Structure 1
Amino acid sequence: MTFEELDLNDNVLDALYDMRFETCTPIQEHCIPQILEGKDILGVAQTGTGKTAAYLLPIMSMLDDGGFPHDAINCIIMSPTRELAQQIDQAMQGFGYYLDSVSSLPIYGGNDGNRYDQEIKSLRLGADIIIATPGRFISHIQLGNVDLSKVSFFVLDEADRMLDMGFSEDIMTIAKQLPPTCQTIMFSATMPPKIEQLAKTLLKNPVEIKLAVSKPAEKIAQKAYLCYEPQKLKVLEDIFKAGNLNRVIIFSGKKQKVKEINRALVRMKINSDEMHSDLSQEERDQVMFKFKSGATDVLVATDILSRGIDIDDITMVINYDVPHDVEDYVHRIGRTARAERDGVAITLISDQDVYYFQQIERFLEKEIEKVPLPEGIGDGPEYKTALRAPKKGGARGSRGGRQKYGQPRGGRNRNAKPANQHAQGGKSGRSRNGHNRRKPNKPASNA
């Protein structure tokens, strides 16, 4: 289905054509008509399926058509992290390039008090769309800076991740202040019981749209090493001795382990850095800037980086430990082999992780190549069929926490150009007025 076949505002369609997006992704095809009809939505879809456009396009289209108050907040979009909030805001600037009447205000952590004051002023003036992280938005609510009485749309993006990060109470606090007529749209990559319960609480007769968990791109060469925990650093050293040092992400589920791995890499004279929730927002921004610019070769990270981050030229992903959920594995290795490039995904499997890796292979419906260990480090564990998971010894992994400061923007950014991204999958097409327009440049990310 093409975007032209949907009942979207002409100004939105003009921006899509400028960005060379013509064809909907499946999640967009199913969601956009239902949102335009005013239905609550429960969508189960991964990052990269085009879900951001699936809710932004119809909401922005309806706001531009009119009938909503100009001095009030009309839409709230909740994001678990600042990085995702920035990407949503960037997408909106592209899709809304011709929407003079629709304004946006991103609210997230990492900025100073002056910007917080600007944020308060913008909130009191009213912004059509607020894109916020829960912790920061709650602080505005508690200080009486926000009036939610006229909100028409409430969007939860990556709801499962927000619950994992401990934002359940904040979400309910916000939801209780919304008018009963508010249309609620919830997206989640997974559907655990806690998400089902949240959906029952927040959604009114929702339309459920579920996309099956997609398998990793065929261009990803997946390999694995069977090794005991003390052998893992030796395996890493051997991998990097082969010269595989360009644009690598190493994932671990535990932030303490991330720190240990990075210290070990530094001792190996490898140009590496680390990303986890113990870093301040300013430190996280600096780490991301250095990695994106090529100043850092290897980034060691928790799953805070596995979803919602767009970096197209990652050559290798290494799972230092095996994710316990298939979806997490898919998200992690999906950081490589993007934009039609090739990529390599290597997983280090300890004796405690055999069961979980076999679950991944069962989902993939194939056996992943097991690479022999380097000479001199001994034998690894056997890859025997594991019928059950090992007994848990505590929570595996750490997810990010709340963020404190935000950067306001009242009204549309007139310097922004439509971004050739985020709609995810639209085919190239001609502009709607019959002539080819120059493809706008992709704006730089602030993540």
Structure 2
Amino acid sequence: MRRRWCGTGWRPSRTERRRRRLTGIDSSSTRRGRWRSGWRGCSTASRARPRSRPVRMPPSDARVASVLVLFNTVALYGMERGVIEYFDLIRSEVRPHFLVSRSIEKLNLPVFQEIRRRGFDVSFFSDRYDWPKIGRPRSLRHLFALVAAMFRGNRDVLRASRGRDGVYAPSVSYLFFALIAMPWVRLTGRRVIYHFHDLGPHPRWVLRVAACFITDVLHNTEEGRRQMLAAFPSLSRARQVVVPYPTERRDGTLPEPVLNALGGAVNVVYIGQVSRHKGVDLLIDAFIAAAGPQARLHVLGDAADHEFLRTLQQRARAAGVDVRWWGYVSEVHGVLERADLYVHPSPPSRFHESFGRGIAEAMQAGIPTVCFRSGMVAELVIHGETGWVCERDDVASLAAALRALLADPVRRRAMGDAARLRYERAYSPAAVRRASEGWLATWKFKRGAA
């Protein structure tokens, strides 16, 4: 029934009043008089009526918590896959609602296809045109563009957070879009979840401000939790949760050129961004120094810096080594099952990994990993048992490790078997689910509760 405010209370619409006249309900009826006079027309007895006691509901009537996931990204690499697969794993207790960029829908990028394939709820930022990347302004015009993007982003997050039980930010850059929403979320008794995906330098002032509102902090490893709390002690007031990324098996049909290239060679695989901070240039130089006639390197990933990619391709071509550049490949498990060695070349002098999803996928496939001691990577790889951890982040150290394992297939197989057992024990979806049980128990609500 439609009503309108008449100054002293809610009054029925003109159509409703006409219907009442035709049906014999006069204007002096108690029901209409109460509408006309609003709350003041109600009797004191009705206002003083005691509320009924709340009914204790059975556990089966618990409702599922809803969390707004800030996900303004166009890539689909380790962090993005980790967030998507983790929320898919716990969606029976915590239902995610992804707030994503409009660009990934217009371009139908793989990250949007993955979110849609899993049936997640999605809403969009108001970025009809691409927003600038959050960072130090290069000019006055760039500063105005950053401020405008942050204002619109904060407005979008504030609107999308209505009706949600919490807001999840997977990195520092997303906190810039939640500076207004975080105080409101906390004032209304809801949660703010922050996930450490990068152990490198963080803007301290942002995390100090956000620490006043963050209620839950997620870490991928126990050592990462200790390091981050030592660097940001103000976050120790929040609930600390250590959960590794789940790694799902992604079966599918490999493209025929990729399938053919995996035969008749000793295959070395790298999965991730082709960028300097990931150490791909060190990998190419080490492979040139260590590769034998049967060795073949497969690089699975795209490059944002195409000039950097062309330089590496020319360097490999000039050295005469067999390097295949496949770009983005979704069915990585099919590649890893046919591989002999996985390399994770992120050097600690450039980047501090919080996990290393490619390593977990290699462990799942049963192949050893060669890596540097970058961030928490060394916590995943046990040197001499499941792989080889290089102590120095230089080409010579990486080349020596490649040379030793490429020449010893028996040792590679033993390390691969140990890696698979470690994956089942600590990084499989069942293990991640067990590690999350304590945190998920704090999300139990009764239906109708706030």
Same fold (TM over 0.5): no
**Under a length normalisation based on structure 2, what TM-score does the superposition of the two structures give?**
0.36
TM (norm. structure 1) is: 0.36
The structure with the greater share of residues assigned to helix is: 2
**Structure with higher RCO (Cα < 8 A, 6+ apart):** 1
